[in-house]
Amino acid sequence: MSSQIYKNQLKQEIEHVNRVLLKYLPQKEGLQKRIFDAMEYSCMAGGKRLRPIIMQETFRICGGNGDIIEAFMVAMEMIHTYSLVHDDLPCMDNDEYRRGKKTTWSVYGYDFGVLCGDALINQAFETVSGVFLQPCDPLRVGRAINILAKKAGVYGMLGGQVVDVWLTDKPMSPEQLDFIYRLKTGALIEASMMIGAVLAGADDSTIALAEDIAAKVGMAFQIRDDILDLTSTTEVLGKPVLSDEKNNKSTYVRLYGFEKAQRDVEELMQEAEKMLEELPGDTGFLRYIFQLLVKREK
């Protein structure tokens, strides 16, 4: 299938995710309206929506059908957004721009930046727990929620952020950097594929395969992010460049050099694409999405 067809499909999927997000976000009314404004501003400030799209496509590839996946797609994007909102805070990266727009805290204030992230993660789990109120397979839904919680928490994304903050300004070993990248960046991509497979009724070996594929893609994605932080511009990237250098963070490029970083991105993607062939359905669109993740310019 041509890349133009996939490009059109991606555009439609992004529009679909945006519509579903707006459906699940709270109505902007009541005394807490300001936090609802901040939640919508954060979630609708752009973004490729690739994690929920990866989840939906894995669900389809593994034979899933129906709209049960939508609540989990929304929750994934809310959790991803909350992580960005908190990552931009003055106590973290202190960034005022993301995706070419003012960050949440710089629009609504430091206090509401913290509260907005808190609100989004709570809204995410309120959304997925509501699936139990619908006709569903409770074991699949329960397992999917458990994966989402674990991959977002101290054994996943949050754990990676904890170690990243702890080791800022400290020497970092390759093992420590790998740990941070696997958790901080890779965990939500892993959760996206795993949840799609679980809700489709895939067996344990397929779920484990999905996790392994996503782990490689997540690592390649983060290395690419390190490269862009050094080579791109604020106008193209949509956020400040040289942020890692400003915050004195260890990165893959710093540890291994620019050329090895580029080679390793290619090798990781080749391995992931080879493993994709073991999944049961047509993986062409998923392969296209993965290429977008690691060849992006912003």
pLDDT at residue 295, rounded to an integer: 79
Tell me the C-alpha distance between 82 and 85, whole Å. Answer: 5
The pLDDT-based confidence of 58 (bands split at 50, 70, 90) is very high
Cα–Cα distances (Å) from 2 to 195, 285, 296, in that order, read: 28, 10, 19
Contact of 11 with 49, CB cutoff 8 Å:
no
Q: How many helices (H) and strands (E) does the chain have?
A: 16, 2
Tell me the C-alpha distance between 140 and 197, whole Å. Answer: 10
* pLDDT, greater one: 230 or 158: 158
Lowest mean pLDDT of 40-44, 113-117, 229-233, 276-280, name the range.
Answer: 229-233
**Whole-number average pLDDT of the chain:** 91
Stated pTM of the model: 0.92
Half-sphere exposure of 162 (CA within 13 A, CB side): 9
Other residues' Cβ atoms within 10 Å of the Cβ of residue 279: 19
The pLDDT-based confidence of 243 (bands split at 50, 70, 90) is low
pLDDT at residue 178, rounded to an integer: 93
Per-residue model confidence as pLDDT tens digits over 120-143: 999 999 999 999 999 999 999 999
The pLDDT-based confidence of 245 (bands split at 50, 70, 90) is low
Task: Find where tokens 């193209």 sit.
Answer: 236
Q: Among positive and negative, which fits the CA dihedral 58, 64, 67, 72?
A: negative
Q: Which of 16-20, 168-172, 230-234 has the highest mean pLDDT?
A: 16-20
pLDDT at residue 242, rounded to an integer: 46
Q: Average of pLDDT values for 265-293?
A: 93
Q: 190, 80, 70: which is closest to 131 by C-alpha? A: 70
Task: Find where tokens 């420590």 sit.
Answer: 176
Fold for the domain defined by 3-295: Farnesyl Diphosphate Synthase (1.10.600)
* pLDDT, greater one: 95 or 235: 95
Q: Average of pLDDT values for 23-43?
A: 96
Per-residue model confidence as pLDDT tens digits over 181-238: 999 999 999 999 999 999 999 999 999 999 999 999 999 999 998 898 887 545 444 5
Cα–Cα distances (Å) from 266 to 23, 262, 263, 273, in that order, read: 38, 7, 5, 11
Q: Average of pLDDT values for 173-181?
A: 93
pLDDT at residue 248, rounded to an integer: 55
Q: For residue 102, what is the enclosing H or E element?
A: strand 101-102
pLDDT at residue 298, rounded to an integer: 63
Q: 227, 298, 220, 214: which is closest to 266 by C-alpha? A: 220
- Domain positions in the chain: 3-295
* pLDDT, greater one: 155 or 250: 155
Q: Has residue 171 got a pLDDT over 50?
A: yes
Token pair for residue 72? 């989990």
